[in-house]
């Protein structure tokens, strides 16, 4: 089985920037990491170094694009692959008003023929996998046949990786945050898709906030076959040690290079060295350390450690504030 999508960290705007991804990579050497969504407009007209630079250790890393114009998406995908990204993903799941105004994100699920054109144009432009991330429905279009036909149309143009957030999107009346909480989770839909598209890679996303929940989806049950991979979003950010635990469980032979940290504190020296390389007059330490606050989640001394980093201390000196956190 192709293990490349077995464990991944979700694209999250304002969260999964390069400094967050560097940290997640330390914890989970096998996880596939996704960027925040970048719109085609930003990529075609913006500062590419600022938008796209990443640390080599982040590989494998996937670039998520937002857009709905096939040629723009093809050009943006080309730029991403030239920059070294290992996969290009199209966002068909974001319900925000801003994204709806741009006519992309979740509202694209209503236009599978257009999404198929977008994917074809992107596939023609690059040789890395072009994948899609979507919901299980939009507003009242929430029958299984709706998402099955969406996936079917993309499958017919060669798309083979589907990352499915197991909730419908409500486009009017719910904020993006509410859209991640209120529509009910239906993981069984993803198992059903795997049953109907056995050759496709089906990755489950949404509400996977513990090891048992994530691992149970990787086993068949009465609802259908096992899915191929699990993608963690908020849990990976707030409790990143969970990523380390899943990586260790799913890849027991250990990383090909480097080492998986045995203790949370084993990450601190690497983070400290990274800070030393990255801090500059244009980039504050806090803009990076803010993503690392979850490392001591649930540990004694975690609050003092976070507070010290908020006050501008480095991870190692902050942990020395409270001997319990360094234990
Ligand atoms: C702060 C935040 C930003 C997000 N930004 C994106 C994004 O840029 N692209 C995307 O496809 N999904 C985005 N999402 C949705 C996540 O990728 C994921 O689908 C969702 O949080 C459900 O997974 P979870 O329950 O594991 O968090 C975002 C979620 C959060 C919390």
Q: Tens digits of per-residue pLDDT, 132-175?
A: 999 999 999 999 999 999 999 999 999 999 999 999 999 999 99
Known catalytic residues are: 94
Instruction: Specify the pLDDT at position 33.
Output: 98
Indicate where the chain has its CATH 3.20.20.70 domain(s): 7-250
* 297 CB within 6 A, ligand 1: no
Residue 185 predicted with pLDDT over 50: yes
Residue nearest to atom 3 of ligand 1 (CA): 12
Residue 284 predicted with pLDDT over 90: no
Contact present, 6 and 229 (Cβ < 8 Å):
yes
User: What is the CA(13)–ligand 1 centre distance, in A?
Assistant: 7
In a 3-state reduction of DSSP, which class is residue 134? strand
In a 3-state reduction of DSSP, which class is residue 52? helix
Contact present, 107 and 60 (Cβ < 8 Å):
no
The count of residues in the chain is: 327
Using most ligand atoms within 8 A of CB, pick from 92, 107, 180, 214 the residue to mutate for ligand 1: 180
Residue 283 predicted with pLDDT over 50: yes
- Average pLDDT of the chain? 94
Which band of pLDDT confidence, cut at 50, 70 and 90, is reported for residue 60? very high
Nearest to 30 by CA among 291, 254, 279: 254
User: What is the CA(94)–ligand 1 centre distance, in A?
Assistant: 8
Q: What is the dihedral of CA 105, 109, 114, 116, to 10 degrees?
A: 100
Sort 219 into a burial class: Cβ within 10 Å, 0-12 / 13-18 / 19+: exposed
Structure tokens given for 283: 């980039």
Residue nearest to atom 31 of ligand 1 (CA): 234
What b/e readout covers 110-119, taking b as 16+ CB neighbours within 10 angstroms?
ebbeebbbbb
- Domain 7-250, what architecture? Alpha-Beta Barrel (3.20)
Residue 209 predicted with pLDDT over 90: yes
pLDDT tens per residue across span 285-327: 899 999 999 999 998 889 888 888 888 888 888 887 765 654 4
* 232 CB within 6 A, ligand 1: yes
Contact present, 24 and 243 (Cβ < 8 Å):
yes
Q: What atom of ligand 1 comes closest to residue 133's alpha carbon?
A: 11
Task: Give the percent of the chain with pLDDT over 90.
Answer: 81
Residue 180 predicted with pLDDT over 60: yes
Instruction: Specify the pLDDT at position 230.
Output: 98
Least confident piece of the model among 46-60, 117-131, 267-281: 267-281
Instruction: Specify the pLDDT at position 325.
Output: 58
């Amino acid at each position: 089985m192709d293990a490349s999508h077995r464990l991944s960290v979700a694209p999250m705007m304002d969260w999964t920037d390069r400094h967050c991804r560097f940290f997640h990579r330390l914890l989970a050497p096998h996880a596939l990491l996704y960027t925040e969504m970048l719109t085609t407009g930003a990529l075609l007209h913006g500062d590419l170094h600022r938008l796209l630079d990443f640390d080599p250790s982040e590989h494998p890393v996937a670039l998520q694009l937002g857009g709905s114009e096939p040629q723009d998406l093809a050009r943006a995908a080309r730029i991403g692959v030239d920059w070294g990204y290992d996969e290009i993903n199209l966002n068909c799941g974001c319900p925000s008003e801003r994204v709806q105004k741009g006519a992309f994100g979740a509202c694209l699920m209503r236009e599978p023929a257009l999404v198929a054109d977008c994917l074809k144009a992107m596939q023609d432009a690059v040789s890395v996998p072009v994948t899609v991330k979507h919901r299980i429905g939009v507003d009242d279009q929430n029958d299984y046949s709706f998402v099955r036909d969406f996936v079917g149309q993309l499958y017919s143009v060669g798309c083979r990786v589907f990352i499915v957030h197991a909730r419908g999107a409500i486009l009017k009346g719910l904020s993006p945050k509410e859209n991640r909480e209120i529509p009910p989770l239906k993981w069984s839909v993803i198992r059903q898709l795997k049953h109907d598209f056995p050759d496709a890679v089906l990755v489950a996303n949404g509400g996977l906030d513990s090891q048992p929940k994530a691992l149970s989806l990787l086993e068949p049950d009465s609802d259908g076959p096992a899915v191929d991979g699990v993608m963690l979003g908020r849990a990976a950010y707030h409790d990143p040690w969970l990523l380390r635990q899943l990586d260790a469980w799913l890849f027991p032979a250990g990383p090909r290079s480097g080492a998986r940290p045995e203790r949370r504190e084993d990450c601190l020296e690497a983070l400290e060295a990274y800070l030393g390389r990255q801090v500059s007059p244009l980039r504050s330490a806090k803009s990076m350390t803010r993503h690392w606050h979850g490392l001591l989640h649930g540990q004694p001394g975690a609050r003092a450690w976070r507070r010290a980093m908020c006050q501008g201390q480095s991870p190692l000196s902050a942990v020395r504030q409270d001997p319990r956190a360094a234990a």
